[in-house]
Amino acid sequence: VFVRLPGRSPAEAATQGRAMAEYVSSHSKLPAALTLEYERVLSPCLLDGHNRYAGAEYVSGTEPQPSLLQKGLFERGQCKYVQATLRGALQRLLVEGSLPRALDFARGACRKLLGGE
């Protein structure tokens, strides 16, 4: 379950996420064996359909630097060059927060490919 919490820092979102998971688990009519668990904060996040997303991941909410988390965007059949290019662009866009650097990285990868490198 993704919950949008605009205007909150990663630490605030993590705290609120844990509280929401605890509240839903203790107040729902679900069987006792089913509980909702807090996993992580993704800020920013790109959603591309069911089980296909990427984001800057904060697990505790207090990390100085987030890490890149992606699910379902890379497929076994994709060539390694496409995977590396997508991963590099996502890192620059989501973790570093720089659209110009992400675009420069992708353009550079295209130039290398067209140049035969």
- Position 27 scores a pLDDT of 80
Q: State pLDDT tens for residues 31-67.
A: 777 888 899 999 899 999 888 999 999 988 888 899 9
Mean pLDDT of the region 75-83: 90
Name the token pair of 93.
């866009």
Q: What is the sign, positive or negative, of the torsion defined by CA atoms of 5, 8, 14, 20?
A: negative
Domain positions in the chain are: 10-114
Q: What share of the chain is helix, strand, coil (3-state, %, to 5)?
A: 45, 15, 40
What's the CA gap between 76 and 109, in Å, rounded?
A: 20
Read off the pTM.
0.82
pLDDT tens per residue, range 23-32: 888 887 777 7
